[in-house]
Copies of this chain bind each other. A is one copy, B any other.
């Protein structure tokens, strides 16, 4: 079994701790029987927990890490402990070729900084980007990037995000020619900043890219399922993603409040429970878990800190698909192709 089917897991990150992480990895192990795992963290604690997961135990190695990156640690603090923390050691396994991908549910800023410093950006990539899956009304989720790796971006960055996001959508959503749009404050050609208009012109001038360019998209259409990849700078992307999360919770809270407002509506709630559970299921972040850092020499997946075992399983599935499709090579090919024709 080569390193290509081995995933390093930061077993200590995440709000649920080791028990939730390993329960999630055990689920992933059942779903991907060829996969092997490097479990990084407190060796004794991991071995103890593995007793309850004999199937996972059979497909895992344990790698001791004496420290854990704290959830409130600054990236600069975390970087100094790259060699002793479970997060840092998990990433180092990817760098050394001993794992094909790393998965962590720990501190996002720390993970981003450590991954960037250790793995470096791919040749030709100016900036890595953080991409995630958002629920939509369409048949599949929608990929959105950048979600916060780069506060400010130029046109060249956005074009590269489009190429990387499309490659990721082909892998994660099994689409041949993903529809890609740039997030903007209007759909007409003259809307937005020079940066966004320049990026649109560059993508439009490259019809050989394996994507369908759909122009600009506004915030109110993000969840309609009309495009597969939404590209933006990390500031706008973070604002949009968090606003969407917050609004979904807000509407759910209002609904709860409304259902509690009378006996009648409480009865209605009980009867409609299967329906509202369908809704909850569709919006549950665990079902869309697994953000990826694109553009690095190695695959790193970030799980929500609050993910449950199903969420962890899904984050590992994201990593498994990227490994299966050799996403790094695909991105390098697409970019090479884009630069060659553009030159």
**Contact with A261, one of B223, B238, B246, B278 (Cβ below 8 angstroms):** B278
A34 within 8 A of B: no
Interface-forming stretch among A12-20, A61-69, A266-274, A331-339? A266-274
Give, as a whole number of angstroms, the nearest-CB distance from A47 to chain B. 37
Q: Which residue of B lies closest to A240 (CB)?
A: B243
A residues 235-260 touching B (CB-CB < 8 Å): 235-236, 238-255, 257-259
A192 touches B151 (CB 8 A): yes
Which chain B residue lies CB-closest to A192?
Answer: B151
Chain B CB within 8 A of A152 CB = yes
User: Is A185 part of the contact surface with B, judged by Cβ < 8 Å?
Assistant: yes
Nearest B-chain residue to A147, judged by Cβ = B185
Contacts of A273 in B (CB 8 A): 268
| Given A254-B283, A259-B275, A275-B262, A223-B242 contact (CB < 8 Å) | no
**Distance A272 CA – B267 CA, assembled complex (angstroms):** 8
- The CA-CA distance from A244 to B241 in the complex, in Å, is 10
User: Do B183 and A239 have beta carbons less than 8 Å apart?
Assistant: yes
Q: Name the B residues within 8 Å of A221 (CB-CB).
A: 246
In chain B, what residue has the closest Cβ to A244? Answer: B247
A193 surroundings in chain B (CB, below 8 A):
151-152, 235
Residues of chain A in range 121-180 having any CB-CB distance to chain B below 8 Å? 136-137, 148, 151-152
Q: Mark A216-238, 1 if CB is under 8 A from B, else 0.
A: 00111111100000000011101
Chain A residues 177 to 191 lying within 8 A of chain B, measured CB to CB, are 183, 185
Residues of B within 8 A of A55 (CB): none
Instruction: Known A151-B185, A247-B247, A258-B276; judge A242-B220 contact (CB<8 A).
Output: yes
Interface of A is mostly: helix
A220, A264, A276: residue with the most chain B Cβ atoms closer than 10 Å: A220
Chain B hits for A52, CB < 8 A? none
User: A253 — which chain B residues lie within 8 A by C-beta?
Assistant: 137
Cβ-closest chain B residue relative to A276? B258
- Judge if A77 is at the interface, Cβ distance under 8 Å: no
Is A73's CB within 8 Å of the partner chain B? Answer: no
Which one of B236, B265, B279 lies within 8 Å of A274 (CB-CB)? B265
Supposing A224-B246, A238-B219 touch, asked if A264 and B258 sit within 8 A by C-beta, the answer is no
> Does B235 contact A258, Cβ atoms closer than 8 Å?
no
Contacts of A249 in B (CB 8 A): 220
Taken together as a complex, chains A and B put the C-alpha atoms of A243 and B238 apart, in Å, by 12
Q: CB distance B254 to A243 under 8 Å?
A: no
The reply on A282 being an interface residue by CB < 8 A is yes
The 8 closest A-B CB pairs, nearest first, are A268-B272, A219-B242, A268-B271, A220-B246, A265-B275, A219-B243, A247-B247, A258-B275
18 A-B contacts (beta carbon < 8 Å):
A136-B250, A137-B250, A151-B193, A152-B193, A185-B242, A219-B243, A220-B242, A222-B243, A224-B246, A247-B248, A248-B250, A248-B251, A251-B252, A255-B255, A257-B278, A259-B272, A265-B274, A269-B275
Instruction: Give A residues with C-beta under 8 Å from B.
Output: 136-137, 148, 151-152, 183, 185, 192-193, 218-224, 234-236, 238-255, 257-259, 261-262, 264-265, 267-276, 278-279, 282-283
